[in-house]
Amino acid sequence: MLKSVRTKSERTGSTGSGALKRAEPYLWLLPMLLVFCIFTFYPFFETIFKSFFIVDSFGNINKFVGFENYLYIFADEQFLRSILNTLFFTVLTVPISKILGFLLALLANNRRKASAFYEAGFALPIAVSSSVAAMIFQLLYTPSLGIINGTFGLNVQWLDDPQIAMVSIAIIQIWLSTSYCFLFLLPSVRSIPQELLESAKLDGASLHKQIIHIYLPLTSPIMFYLICTDVIYSFMMMSFVNILTDGGPQDSTITMLQYVYKQFAATGNYTNANPVAIIVFFLTFIMTLINFIGEKKGVHYA
């Protein structure tokens, strides 16, 4: 009888110990999950909730209006312009920076005595913060004293002309993002088996065919990651615009996130800021979802 009681208690203890072991990973993650919920999920759902109300400048709810806030936002020409500007910035910066980063990785693929110097030169822009990069290019873009106009004898109003102001800002992002892509793509390019490349050369494959049929497929997982992160960053871009143009001239550089910033920071208009923030989130989510749909066709995992 005593033996059976002991066996039962041991079995109960082992069951409790097993449950504790299964719960251990979640217990380790619990503090981080709590922080994540408090500082991410709670503000997000609170913003969704308040987007259906009239909210004063102190964040207090006054009146329920349903989807009227969203209808008002989509009727605002400045917000619609910010969507077009953001899309134009994304389409301009993402492909060009990925192509340049990939070409630089191919250029630096073969190790040489001077590899450390030009690899550091290619990667140097990533060490520059957005604010510092904006100030550097502001000096370069100065019409009268800037190096670009002075060197090439131009008279271009880089940041004051509505036709090219967004292109001028996109150039800064391309410069920064290219170095970021280079750092990720260089190890990926160098990890391609040399036997595979030598076999392709023996079969008469030119460099162009090697790039299309070997380099691009084998580096596609890294490229996919870079495209996803860069699209999200481009949709969230605001720093360059705030420093250089403040959305001008004539709203030619205003982006979606800067529109949100202007609503609550400049005027305290939380009634407009809340629904716009949700719209920006869903537009970014849709663009990310499109990228993941394309992953099945364009990404090749070894």
- Do 131 and 221 reside in the same domain of the chain? yes
pLDDT digits (tens, 9 = 90+) for 266-283: 778 888 889 999 999 999
CA 255 to CA 260: how far, in whole Å? Answer: 9
- Do 172 and 253 reside in the same domain of the chain? yes
Task: Write out the residue range of the structural domain in which residue 105 sits.
Answer: 69-298
- Do 100 and 160 reside in the same domain of the chain? yes
- Do 244 and 201 reside in the same domain of the chain? yes
pLDDT at 7: 54
Q: Total structural domains in the chain? A: 2
- Do 271 and 197 reside in the same domain of the chain? yes
Through-space distance between the first and last CA atoms of the chain, rounded to whole angstroms = 60
Mean pLDDT of 132-153: 87
For residue 95, tell me if it sits in a domain: yes
pLDDT at 16: 58
For residue 41, tell me if it sits in a domain: no
Any idea how long the chain is?
A: 302
- Of the candidates 222, 221, 238, the one whose C-alpha atom is nearest the C-alpha of residue 101 is 222
pLDDT band at 293 (very low <50, low <70, confident <90, very high): confident
For residue 49, tell me if it sits in a domain: no
CATH code of 270's domain:
1.10.3720.10
Does the pTM surpass 0.75? The reply is: yes
Least confident of 148-152, 178-182, 191-195, 291-295: 291-295
Assess whether pLDDT exceeds 50 at residue 2: no
pLDDT band at 1 (very low <50, low <70, confident <90, very high): very low
For residue 50, tell me if it sits in a domain: no
The overall average pLDDT reported for the chain is 86
